[in-house]
Structure 1
Amino acid sequence: MSSTTSAVGKRRLRTPTWDAKFDDVAPLRSIVEAVQNVVSRVTFKITRQDSESPYFLKIDTADVAYVSCISVRYQLDKVNNNSGDDEIKFCVDCKHIAPCLANIRQEHTLTLEGHEDQASPKIVIRTCDPDHPSHETTTELDTFVDSDNVQLFPMDHDIMLEIDLLMFRGLLKQAQVAKADQIVIRIFIKETAGQTVSFTHFSVQGEFKHSSSFCHEVSKDEDGSMIVRAATDSMHNLFDTDDIEPVYEGIFPVEKVSGFMKPLQCRMLVAKVKQNMPIMFSHCIGGSTDDVSHIRFLIAPVNPETD
């Protein structure tokens, strides 16, 4: 359970065992919104490799059926740790922490505090307006016994699919209207006029069928995988795929995909795919441009023969 108090006229808890300050709450809010679509309780880790390395907020968790998994890495610049350990670990209920972050204004700062010396360990969330230092709001959250023991191993992917998120959300809305349960992604490759060109096809089918197709020149990533774009910024014409086998085809549950996409604030989203492997959606958070801080969401494909 949680409780909210005003700091004015109230006695503070004792000095925290550790604290982490967020000058920008938006990345933490995005993380929690994404995670609560997968699990009801989440285990946070604040950890670093050694005393010279920065701290990172880390989450690795999966739903009960292991249909979807989520992995988070977010670099923290303001951590005070008096626990004597380079890893801080706590488990909280998503429905408790999410409302605490929902209405925090952009100019406010947020501090997570760990009070591990209490009879029942607490996580305290403090928010304050730097322009009004005489007032702050605190929320005390109960912690739970950690039940997360998820290990996500690196996976090789053949294709990096860059998706226009505005388009993709429109497709998912059509899926909802059509009462479609699944989304199908197909990628075709063709050599034409000395160029390698991709044809990417998204479709949903329920009470009616809706689809979107994109044609782009293929490029190569530094790891050797193909880069395919699903966006409208190309001059290539769509080509006939009747006599071509797809280099990739995957079917995924609309509900899982849509739940993850809803809170994202980016314009383009990267999906890494390989036949018969989970699709991995990835995007940077907190202004990161080099993937140091990111959210990765993996969804297992649906087997049409057993679904």
Structure 2
Amino acid sequence: MADYRHNLNTKEPIVNSESAPNPDTMADASADLPPTPDGGEGLMGLTNVEPSPVEETPAEFKEDYFPATEPQRTSTLGLGNHGPAYYLSRIQRYSSYAFTVFSSFHIANVSLIPLLTRSVPESNRYLLLTRPYYQSTLTEPLLVALPLLVHVSSGIALRLYRRRQTLRRHGAETTGDRKRIPWPSLSGTSALGYALVPLASFHVLTTRIMPLYMHGDNSMINLSYIAHGFHLYPIVSFAGFTALVGVGVWHVVWGAARWLDWVPSQVRDTDSRRHLRKKRRWYGINSVSALVAGVWLAGGLGIVGGVGR
């Protein structure tokens, strides 16, 4: 590089010729360098290319780098872009509403009315009056069989789907991996529901299917028929009826509390009152369950079952 200094008298720059580069030397140095490759390649062997905008990304590579985004749509029925768990939960919930209608009629006929009349023959009159509303050819499948089947099936499907999601989240590929990954936790309400399936199935078998097979008609089933069964098989009848009512009532009451966001685990307080509110909800739900089960057993076992003894 040239050394430029200013003369104080003439104010002109003074060039130091010793530090200035020699043109002949630079020419010789450039001649020793390797020639630049043709085709637009740089010194590092890279090719200069034009930049490719996002809009011109090749179709075969576009989906790998830029996943397709679908617009948020809502159908005319109000169904948004939700996963299977959302719809299975809604199906399980709404199917329980229809079955609750039948349960209300049933507890009134086999428990509340016998408690009020204190007579099985008198209670049979009310049973015959209300039976066409929930045991006809049309209403029984719609209010009993179909909601019960949908409720149980959606619950099992929801559990299997959550299990599949857990396996995918942990990257399980072999059978050994699947065995090491635990299943989703089973709530107390779900456990009662699974225990209720064989109890309810046995109840349907003895009161609906077997009379139809043995007598050719199940419309003859009334409270006197049930009382006769308590007399013939007292241990099985009392134990089975108690288990059916207890498990069924606790499952229904806790399930209804969950739909209404009243279970202890759904308390949203973060202060010191959280523990107190959870305890109050636990005692409240179990108190309601015990009250309903007690009334049901008092009418079913105390009045109907007591006549058969």
| TM-score, scaled relative to structure 2 | 0.23
Q: Which has the greater radius of gyration?
A: 2
Question: As a proportion of its length, which structure holds more helix?
Answer: 2
The structure in which a higher percent of residues are strand is 1
